Structure 1
Amino acid sequence: MNASDWITRGVSLLRPGNSPDAGKKTAADASKARKAAVGPRPLAERLDATLRRPGEALAPRALRRALVELQAVVDPSVSEVEAGRRAHAVVQWYAARELDERRDIWLLMSERFAPDVQTLSSARDQHEAAVGTADEGQAEVQLRRALASPRARLLQRFAIDPDGMRFLVDLRAELLPHLKGDRRLLPLDAELEHLFSTWFDMAFLDLRRISWDSPASLIEKLIQYEAVHDIKSWADVKNRLDSDRRCYGFFHPRLPNTPLIFVEVALVDRISEGIEPLLDEAAALVRPDRATTAIFYSISSTQTGLKGVSFGDSLIKRVVETLQDELPRLKTFATLSPIPGFRSWLAKHAADMVERLDEKRAAELGRVIGSLPPSAERFLAAADEAVALDAKSPVRQLLLNAAAEYLGRATAAGRPVDPVARFHLGNGARVERLNWGGDPSPKGQRQSYGLMVNYLYDLKRLDKHRTLLAQGKVAVSGGIDDLVLRG
């Protein structure tokens, strides 16, 4: 081989795919590609395997051992006391596991404790055949028994342990973000939500007032879980628990030191327009026995694992009843609420709002934002300076129009698109009043250009408002209705 041939051969080996090991790498890559295309190994296959594959958390042997421990908890031959002891051991072992290992436990609970398919199919066939006959009732009983999964029994036995309820609530909180990525976990989530809806029924919850005299550990939980208006200091929380304030929470006997949901109330003499006076630590106290209005200004759920379990409507009803008993002069019950979805909604619908302006208002808006005809982009840019807008500003007026549209008309599947509106309107309140600059904080600006809203709980019309909402109509005051742009 001469020098020229040697150089040519060397250069060719440097080109991608021409190295001596290229064939081996291609085969290995192909093998990896095939495995990736197949996806994760099914749980049943992992239980039957000997070796762990890359990416799998628990080795097959450990996975089988975990299954045995779970089956021991649900074993029908052992007493409830023994089952609780076994569940406690599993809880302790689970607590020391990494997230991926816990996910394997979720899969075991979800897939290996499902109803027996053949028993369920047979019971369903028998029920269908018995419909309309004297045996229909018995067939329904059998179908119900077939539908009851070993998974439900497993979870119930975990709840026997004093720490079991906390374990299950925390398990679901950790599980929820993984549901979209792994549908195999859906049955476990559905089972937990169903059980929680029974275990956390209003009949089993205590309404307790939280005051400055409550244990410090409980007050610390208010600071930790406050989700609407952050508590900045102990002086701040003391102000929220002062004599002209009230705070109530729902508590469960198995989670005695943690409010599941709590509401903060201000006792005042009129419907509040802004959050700053309510949180002002230097503001003069209102005598509670002289107050005529109760303002619900913050409602916070504390347990992500109880998503889908509704407490809020019952909480407000119970608090209203409690306040009326204590303070008979209270006649008005309203909220001062954020509008968390307004800014993002307006970004998508600004063009429509601008197009619905009449010629005069469109011209006024265009002159202010420097665009004739006015554009959605220029309007949104001007809205970013909402704090500085005066009462006659056409930008401010259009923001109010848009907020009224958002709260009073914007629905999806017959329900308000704003989550806070959905909550209060579902409880029978109505959209009462928009408050410009109600929350000038950076968070308020990010959510709704500083706008806040009052929802009014007219105790004589709650059922009427719920009926309207069931028909896809939102109950609003005359002032809100006047702000909605026509055409």
Structure 2
Amino acid sequence: MTLLADLLNTVFERRHRRETPAAAEDGRPLTELARALVGSAGETSGLALAREILTRFAALDDDAKLTFFHDIAATMNIDPEAVRTTLDEYERNPSKESYRAFTVAAEPARQELIRRLNRVPGATEILVNMRADLLRLGRNEPELQALDLDLRHLFASWFNRGFLVLRPISWESPAHILEKIIAYEAVHAIDSWDDLRRRLEPADRRCFAFFHPSMPDEPLIFVEVALTKGIPGSVQTLLAEDRAAMPAEEADTAVFYSISNCQAGLASISFGNSLIKQVAADLSSELSGLNTFVTLSPIPGLTTWLQKEGIDWDVDAPDAMRAQAAHYLLNAKSRGGLPFDPVARFHLGNGAIVHAVHADADISDKGRAQSGGTMVNYLYDLSKVAQNHENFANTRQIVASTEVEALANSFDKTPKQER
């Protein structure tokens, strides 16, 4: 299926390159070209306009990009009066025509602009990068948040699970893909090709990534997996240079020890849930001896929260670090009642449970700085993830093992100097 998708995508792009002749450069301002594209009725002229907009946008400096974003956010917005009028008419006389009039009024023209830009072969990746620019440049620009919501709305449809292709990444994968795995690794840095090889080549190591047919050379998200006997409590043990590999058939546990999102422009477009469940299903089919699926996850917000709460922490006090981490994972909440920790929000939202907390599990500089070296196993019980997900989504209920609950209850919040 992957080969077929690649072939169809290649044929599609080549066909459109043949059918769409190059046009002379249009001297109009970029924002005027954008408005002309939305009003264009011809397919060929529309493709030429879209291609020129994308080409010229990519060449802009940051100030000019921000100006372009502000212009389309303001001039291609909805007309509130038209929305009110058409909604009133739909309420008075609900029909196909009145509903269509309302939906047209309620959708800003910039959504149609983005759709028309995406008709150009290869434009999807450019638009993802455009949103990365918007997030980077417009972080403190409230008036651009609605524009970002439009992009998120469209990307959520274009990048839904039905369009994604799961591919295994191995040491035999193309070099340009392997280079991107090194570059995009966000949890445990890959510091050399030998390091990458240790993560991909042994029989008890796996890596999987989601790709989109419109971006066949760009992984969207990938997960690194260790096949082990038992549940590990140290990432250094998993990644040790001198570790002895074992036959995959002897493993009883699949450990998701690194999950990295690759595209800044797809922030808030969720792939991780589908990725973990698909990989777990595929590994279960391949290896009948696997009966446990866990993560070995960082706790990136722990030391920040401890400092904010005025709580002392000491990497040389492992029992105290574990208790602090357990309390943090189960009880530190944001205003909306969600866990303070972003990794916890992700895995608990997927239906996992907090299974075990380990001290001295990541002794790298990064690991000590963000969590005092502690890490956590989130357990994916495939028979219960759906119910856990529902409970977490509806009531913010966090499910944890009795061991983690006991650790959290043993937490002493008293500042060190007052004990």
The answer to whether the 8 A contact 1:235-1:281 is kept is no
Report the alpha carbon displacement of residue 176 of structure 1 after superposing the two structures with TM: 1.0
The question of 1:78 aligning with 2:42 is answered: yes
The answer to whether the 8 A contact 2:322-2:358 is kept is no
The question of 1:398 aligning with 2:320 is answered: yes
The answer to whether the 8 A contact 1:247-1:262 is kept is yes
1:73 and 1:213 map into 2 onto residues whose CA distance is 44
The answer to whether the 8 A contact 2:321-2:374 is kept is no
The answer to whether the 8 A contact 1:335-1:454 is kept is yes
The answer to whether the 8 A contact 2:297-2:377 is kept is yes
Report the alpha carbon displacement of residue 325 of structure 1 after superposing the two structures with TM: 1.2
- Which amino acid is 2:397 matched to? K
Bigger relative contact order (CA 8 A; separation at least 6): 2
2:378 and 2:162 map into 1 onto residues whose CA distance is 27
Match of 1:122 in 2: 85
- Which amino acid is 1:197 matched to? A
Match of 1:194 in 2: 153
SS of 1:236's equivalent in the other structure is helix
The answer to whether the 8 A contact 2:30-2:56 is kept is no
Highest CA radius of gyration, 1 or 2? Answer: 1
Report the alpha carbon displacement of residue 168 of structure 1 after superposing the two structures with TM: 1.0
SS of 1:72's equivalent in the other structure is helix
- Which amino acid is 1:74 matched to? V
Report the alpha carbon displacement of residue 350 of structure 1 after superposing the two structures with TM: 4.4
SS of 2:51's equivalent in the other structure is helix
Q: Identity of paired residues, percent? A: 39
Report the alpha carbon displacement of residue 437 of structure 1 after superposing the two structures with TM: 0.6
1:268-347 to structure 2, matched below 5 A, reads 268-347=228-307
Report the more deviating stretch, 145-154 or 240-249: 145-154
Ranges in structure 1 where 5+ consecutive residues have no aligned partner? 1-61, 352-378, 390-394
SS of 2:309's equivalent in the other structure is helix
Deviations 1:208-254 (Å, cap 9, x if unpaired)? 00111110000000000000000011010011102211100010111
1:304 and 1:116 map into 2 onto residues whose CA distance is 31
- Which amino acid is 2:366 matched to? K
2:390 and 2:113 map into 1 onto residues whose CA distance is 40
Match of 1:59 in 2: none
The answer to whether the 8 A contact 1:409-1:474 is kept is no
Ranges in structure 2 where 5+ consecutive residues have no aligned partner? 1-25, 413-419
Match of 1:172 in 2: 131
Deviations 1:251-271 (Å, cap 9, x if unpaired)? 011111111000000011111
SS of 2:409's equivalent in the other structure is coil
Match of 2:8 in 1: none
The answer to whether the 8 A contact 1:432-1:476 is kept is yes
1:97-246 to structure 2, matched below 5 A, reads 97-130=60-93, 135=94, 138-242=97-201, 243-246=203-206
1:191 and 1:397 map into 2 onto residues whose CA distance is 47
Report the more deviating stretch, 249-258 or 115-124: 115-124
The question of 1:411 aligning with 2:333 is answered: yes
Report the alpha carbon displacement of residue 63 of structure 1 after superposing the two structures with TM: 11
Deviations 1:262-298 (Å, cap 9, x if unpaired)? 0000011111110112112321111011111100000
Distance 1:471 1:63, change over 3 A: farther
Report the more deviating stretch, 205-214 or 108-117: 108-117
- Which amino acid is 1:209 matched to? P
Match of 1:267 in 2: 227
Report the alpha carbon displacement of residue 447 of structure 1 after superposing the two structures with TM: 0.7
Report the alpha carbon displacement of residue 418 of structure 1 after superposing the two structures with TM: 0.4
Report the more deviating stretch, 136-145 or 161-170: 136-145
- Which amino acid is 2:196 matched to? V
Deviations 1:389-429 (Å, cap 9, x if unpaired)? 3xxxxx43332221111111222212111011111110000
Q: How many residues are matched?
A: 383
The answer to whether the 8 A contact 1:84-1:160 is kept is yes
The question of 1:454 aligning with 2:414 is answered: no
Deviations 1:38-85 (Å, cap 9, x if unpaired)? xxxxxxxxxxxxxxxxxxxxxxxx997222211222224211x43222
- Which amino acid is 2:228 matched to? V
* TM-score, normalised with respect to structure 2: 0.87
**How well do the aligned residues superpose, as a CA RMSD in angstroms?**
1.9
